[in-house]
Amino acid sequence: MTEMETGAVTDPAPAGAVTDRAPDAVTDPAEGEAVVDRAAEAVIDRVMPSTGGVIPKGRAGRAASASTASGRPVEPGPAVELAGVAKVFNAGRPDEVTALDGVDLTVGRGEFVSLIGPSGCGKSTLLRLVADLVPPTGGTVRVADRSARQARRDLAYGIAFQQAGLLDWRTVARNVELPLELRGLSRRDRQGKAREMLELVGLADFAGHYPDQLSGGMQQRVAIARALAVDPPLLLMDEPFGALDEMTRERLQDELLRICARKGTSALFVTHSIPEAVYLSDRVVVMSARPGRIVEIVGVELGERTEATRQSAAFFAGITRVREALRGTPARSAPPAGADQAAAGAPA
């Protein structure tokens, strides 16, 4: 995949910063992977609310409006709207792959929607279509009431994908600062925000380290900090917590929900974890094996998430519903249901 195709953003100033390594080979390691979060809000304020341990959930408690990076107000309407979307890779060639077919999906403003399905069913492809990193071969993709292309130009979303996609020659802090630099924030504001975000993901002590001095999970936490740093109105996240230990994962799930609730952020979130999908989401979209289609959309009504939610009967009922929907799909390479069950501690 070329940089042109992905719209990957290269580091605008890889050289010269005193905290950076000498960029003797200045090649963006994230070429082919968009690395920079795209967000709309120009004014960055503190993202950590005090919610007294209760995480608001549901659209009613969320803000309904946002603005673009250029200050243009966003029209009221869905955060994401997919109609009849298809994606065929390598059309007409022997290696042709139909990744997605006939996908209709709407993500409302402030709604948290998860995608779950067997490996290779097109979840990442769907996110890439929304992010305008690949074009659809059929149907339409609208983001915040405009074309996906325009939404990308307007910096209308933040992304954290399967690979952390950090810039090796930048310190951890300066990786988090990168999207803030692109938005023209002052150095002081950038540094303050980066510190805050690194504290959030538990990496304050590693601000001066370089990505290759961190474990895979730590790198992923840096990518999450970078995605959240700009308070985007829409988050596109592709298994962002996959490499994390269970306790960190649960803590970051809670922080993510707090941030989304406070900011009215909409989210399209890919995961292989049924409990994670149920805990985070207003709706869980269950997809079939290739070609990826939506087989069921499971609504989740758990109300405000608290410490007790993960132990509640309603939570386990949601897990069971999603698992049953997944089992109904041709599970060519689906994760074993037992693994999810064990992870959730759900009754058999």
Comparison of 217 and 242: residue with beta carbon closer to Mg ion: 242
Q: For residue 118, give both structure tokens.
A: 């067997």
Nearest to 38 by CA among 63, 71, 66, 9: 9
When binding is defined by CB under 6 A, the residue of 7, 23, 58, 120 that contacts ligand ATP is 120
Residue span binding ligand ATP (CB under 6 A) among the ranges 119-127, 195-203, 242-250, 312-320: 119-127
Q: Map residue 172 onto helix, strand or coil.
A: helix
Size of interface with ligand ATP, in residues (CB under 6 A): 13
Closest separation between CB of residue 208 and Mg ion, Å?
32
Tell whether residue 32 is a contact of ligand ATP (CB under 6 A): no
Is 122 a binder of ligand ATP (CB under 6 A)? yes
Both tokens of residue 78? 């869905």
Distance CA 328, CA 314 (A): 21
15 to 34, contacts with Mg ion by CB under 5 A? none
Picking from 154, 158, 176, 159, the residue whose alpha carbon sits closest to that of residue 167 is 176
Q: Which is nearer to Mg ion, 68 or 162 (CB)?
A: 162
Structure-token match 């960055």, residue found = 44
Q: Which among Mg ion, ligand ATP, none contacts residue 259 (Cβ within 5 to 8 A by kind)? A: none
Q: Which residue in the set 114, 124, 219, 271 belongs to the binding site for Mg ion (CB under 5 A)?
A: 124
The vertex-151 CA angle with 90 and 85, nearest 5°, equals 40
Structure tokens at 57: 């959930």
Q: Which range touches ligand ATP (CB under 6 A), out of 34-42, 113-121, 216-224, 340-348? A: 113-121
Distance CA 174, CA 259 (A): 22
Footprint of ligand ATP (CB under 6 A): 1, 89-90, 97, 99, 119-125, 290
